[in-house]
Amino acid sequence: MTTELFRLTDRAAVVTGAGRGIGAAAAVTLAEAGTDVVISSRTEADLRKVAAEVEKAGRRAIVVPADLNDLTAVAGLAEAAREAFGRLDVVVNNVGGTYPRAFLDTTPDFLERAFHFNVSTAHALTRAAVPLLLEDGGGAVVNISSTMGRIAGRGYLAYGTAKAALAHYTRLAARDLAPRIRVNAIAVGSVATSALELVLGDDELRRRMEEGTPLRRIGSAEEIAATVLYLASAAGGYVTGRVLEVDGGLQEPNLDLGIDDL
């Protein structure tokens, strides 16, 4: 059956930024498909809630509270998977993000920190994971990028540049690691997570964002998690080096932040 291609029975994964939002949904979805997971973010209480959902799905969750800006800490998650589960098959580089800033307020240091948090962390974990992925014949890496890495909007210089870099990192890493390890990314649009709390709590802002999206709604974390599952499983077994756009059809920003330098 074709649906069996989406099963990941007795596999092991690492998901970063897994305390809330897309990372949490990805961890639970992978567990429902048969995967044990190492989950990591700053806040242990959030991770414990996600771990409970993983365990409801009948899988094991290893909680690793950490500051994932620390490249040693993020790289160590690969070994945590091997110690706990004896293997590693899937890596989801979800941690990232950067606050919008006007151009003249975007210092070189701010730009470098955005690159570090969105790209260097993904590379540190992926690099540490490769030997373990190869031990069981290969595996899959899924990077969470953004539609702002493809389209232009005021205020997104640091965030958009970092996410564009992550998208091209995906293409380059896929070429380096083929044929045994597949590397793909998801360019995410506006999704109902804590990152959109300001918009979701304001009826007018939400209406404007929805009207600016061709599908006329904000996406869900579960929709992104379903795409993660596709790319991580045999269902996506002939896909590598691709950035899937899961963004409601955006071709331009769907909300003006009111940031103006000049």
Q: Which whole number is the average pLDDT over 122-151?
A: 97
Q: 201 pLDDT band (50/70/90 cuts)?
A: confident
Q: Which whole number is the average pLDDT over 55-64?
A: 98
Closest by CA to 189, choosing from 166, 165, 157, 212, is 212
Helix residue spans in 61-120 (DSSP H): 71-85, 108-115
Q: 160 pLDDT band (50/70/90 cuts)?
A: very high
Paired sense of beta strands 90-93 and 61-65, if any: unpaired
As a residue count, the chain comes to 262
Q: What is the DSSP letter of 199?
A: H
pLDDT of amino acid 193: 86
Looking at the DSSP assignment, which residues form a beta bridge with residue 75?
A: none
Record the pTM.
0.96
Q: How far apart are CA 215 and CA 166, in angstroms?
A: 26
Contact 122, 93 (CB under 8 A): yes
Q: How far apart are CA 147 and CA 125, in angstroms?
A: 23
pLDDT of amino acid 262: 63
Contact 150, 245 (CB under 8 A): yes
Summarize pLDDT for 12-56 with one digit per residue, the tens.
999 999 999 999 999 999 999 999 999 999 999 999 999 999 999
Summarize pLDDT for 222-249 with one digit per residue, the tens.
999 999 999 999 999 999 999 999 999 9
Contact 166, 121 (CB under 8 A): no
Q: 95 pLDDT band (50/70/90 cuts)?
A: very high
Residue type, 204: E
Residue 258 class from Cβ within 10 Å (0-12 exposed, 13-18 middle, 19+ buried)? exposed
Phi-psi region of 176 (alpha: psi -120 to 50; beta: other; left: phi over 0): alpha
Q: What residues act catalytically?
A: 159
2-246: CATH topology: Rossmann fold (3.40.50)
Q: Please state, as a whole number, how many other Cβ atoms lie within 10 Å of the Cβ of residue 10.
A: 12
Phi–psi pair at 212, nearest 5 degrees: -85, 0
Q: How far apart are CA 32 and CA 27, in angstroms?
A: 9
Residue type, 20: R
